[in-house]
Amino acid sequence: MKTFARITKRMALPVLAIGSLLWITCSGTAERPNTLTSQEAEEGWTLLFDGHSTAGWHIFNQGKVPSAWRAVNGELWCDPQVTDAVHGDLVTDSTYTDFELVFDWKIAKGGNSGVFINVQEGPAYGTAYATGPEMQLLDNEYAEERHRSNPSHLAGSVYDVVGDAEQSKPVPFGQWNHSRIRQKDGKVTFWLNGQVTAEVQLGSEAWTGLVATGNLGNFPEFGKAKQGRIALQDHTDEVFFRNMKIKRL
C-alpha cells in the first residue's frame, strides 16, 4: 500500500500540471482573468477592462459621472439596485473601425443586455441603440415571450435585425458565456460560444432591407456608421463582463 501511495502521489503533480496547461490552451485566455497572454500582446490585443476599475469608459452622453457600473471581484458589473448614481449605457472613451472584440458575459435569470458597436455620441443621439448595432445578450430560457419567439431577439443576434435560433445557445443564467465580434470593411460577424450567430454587411441592400422591417428603421442613423464606440447596455437587469479584449485590424 505504501508503494502504491508513493507512486500515485508522484504521478499526481505532472497530471495536475498538464491539466492546468490544457485549461489555458483550450480556453484561449490567460490563467488569470483580465490579463493578456504574451502571444495576445504580440498580436496587438489590448484590455478594455482592467479588472479593477472603469478606466477607459464613461456613461453615454454624460461623461465621467458616478454610475451603476462597478468593478467587483474582477468583474464589470451593472448593479440594478443602485440608486445613488447614474444608470446608463457604458461606452468606451476610444473609437474603433476595423476590430476584433472578445469578452465573457453572464446575466441574471431572464436577463436582457447587449453590446453595441459603432455607437455615435452627441446631442443628436438620445441612446446608444439609435446608431449602434447590438449583439443581444439574453437568458433565452427565461426571457420574455416576445424575445423567445423572435430569432432576432435571441442571444447572439444582431438585435431586431437578424438572428439564428439554431445557433443561439447561451449557457444557463449565472454562468459565463464567451462572445466574439469582428468588423472588417463593414462586414460584421457575431459568435456565441464558438458558433457564428449572425453575419451582415453594413450598407448593403440586404442590410438596409432588414433594418427597414424592424423598429430600428425608425432611427435614421441606425447602422449607418462603420466606426464608433463600443457600448455595454444598462437594461436594468444584472449583467457581468470580464476578459474584454480588443484588437484593431
**Residue-level pLDDT at 198:** 98
Q: Do 59 and 227 touch, CB atoms closer than 8 A?
A: no
CATH domain 33-248 topology: Jelly Rolls (2.60.120)
- Candidates 86, 60, 71; CA nearest to 233 is 60
C-alpha to C-alpha distance for 108 and 213, rounded to whole angstroms: 30
**Residue-level pLDDT at 30:** 52
Place of cell 448614481: 85
Instruction: Average pLDDT across each block of 10 residues of the chain; the chain has 249 residues. List them in order.
Output: 38 40 44 93 97 97 95 95 93 98 98 98 96 98 95 98 97 98 98 98 97 95 98 95 98
Place of cell 501511495: 5
**pTM for the full predicted model:** 0.87
**Residue-level pLDDT at 236:** 86
Going across the sheet that includes 90-92, the strands are: 57-59, 90-92, 229-232, 112-119, 134-138
139-144's contacts with Cβ under 8 Å and 24+ in sequence apart are 139/107, 139/108, 139/109, 139/110, 139/111, 139/112, 139/170, 139/172, 139/173, 140/168, 140/170, 141/172, 141/173, 142/109, 142/110, 142/173, 143/110, 143/111, 143/112, 144/110, 144/112
C-alpha to C-alpha distance for 65 and 18, rounded to whole angstroms: 46
Residues 6+ apart with CB under 8 A from 203: 186, 224, 226
2: phi then psi, degrees, rounded to nearest 5: -65, -40
C-alpha to C-alpha distance for 197 and 190, rounded to whole angstroms: 6
**Residue-level pLDDT at 189:** 98
C-alpha to C-alpha distance for 112 and 127, rounded to whole angstroms: 17
